[in-house]
Amino acid sequence: MKLTILGCSGGIGSGRHTTCLKVDDDVLIDAGTGITTLDFEQLLAIDHVFLTHAHLDHTLGLPLLLDSVGDLRATPLTVHALPEVLAVLSTHLFNWHLWPDFRQIPSVQSPWMRFAPLDFGEALTLKGRTFRPLPVNHVVPACGVQLTTATGSLAFSGDTTHSDAFIAALNAIPDLRHLIIDTSFENALVGIAQASKHHWPDSLAAELKHLTVRPEVWITHLKPGNESAIMNELREAAPDWGVEALLQGQVIVLE
């Protein structure tokens, strides 16, 4: 299994793209502006999209993906997410006002897109890769994603702040090899981080102390312009973890 980082920034500008991770050639985890780095043939190859939550920096590429290749697909694109997330997309995005509802185009019987609820405690296996939602703590209904293959597991937090449930879920994955986790603001902006429910360096360092597993830790959702400050503070706060910033274009392989 190959995970390609199409976008991992907390914003845009100067080559930065928001969250979008590609699993092999056919699956996306989130659909932020990183999706725009794919060429037409790569867009056409995407069959499944797993969404952590409904915020635009994680979903805005989804309607554009369907608008670009929907008419060329033989089967509907399947969108997997918590039921609450799919309800937000139905009400506020694919509502015929902000964007057409591709679950009805060209017809309800033969749509370009279908929704597939995936709730906590459930898992879906696609071609030997198992996707499982993990509990996190954000300002809207949200989940992380556990991705497991025959050779190990990777966990992606999506957007989160402190979460006992997320730490417990990570500790229950004995073969966890990689953890991709949100740290959006430096310590001086702790008030903003708390209000928006994102990690800051000191909060993530405290979280890591409760892990009994020892994955490689990759930091995502760094706010533009603050990346170096956040990473410097995080390395100082958690010196034993060897944390690294996730990079656009990076490839993580489970084999």
List pLDDT tens digits, range 36-79: 999 999 999 999 999 999 999 999 999 999 999 999 999 999 99
Instruction: Give the phi and the psi of residue 138 in degrees, each rounded to 5.
Output: -130, 180
What's the pLDDT tens digit per position in 139-194? 999 999 999 999 999 999 999 999 999 999 999 999 999 999 999 999 999 999 99
The whole domain housing 41 covers 2-253
What's the pLDDT tens digit per position in 85-137? 999 999 999 999 999 999 999 999 999 999 999 999 999 999 999 999 999 99
Round to whole Å and give the CA distance between 140 and 130.
25
- Per-residue pLDDT for 250 more than 90? yes
Question: Domain total for the chain?
Answer: 1
190's CB contacts (< 8 A; 6+ apart) are 200, 202, 203
Q: Which has the closest alpha carbon to 207: 154, 157, 161?
A: 161
Q: For residue 151, what is the domain's CATH number?
A: 3.60.15.10
- Average pLDDT rounded to a whole number, residues 23-27: 98
Round to whole Å and give the CA distance between 111 and 91.
18
The predicted structure's pLDDT at residue 255: 80
Q: Which has the closest alpha carbon to 223: 5, 18, 65?
A: 18
Q: Which has the closest alpha carbon to 18: 243, 236, 248?
A: 248
Q: Which helix (H) or strand (E) holds 64?
A: helix 61-69
What's the pLDDT tens digit per position in 187-230? 999 999 999 999 999 999 999 999 999 999 999 999 999 999 99
Query: Rounded to the nearest 5 degrees, what angle is found at the Cα of 5, between the Cα atoms of 41 and 15?
Result: 90
The predicted structure's pLDDT at residue 78: 98
Instruction: Tell me which amino acid residue 11 is.
Output: G
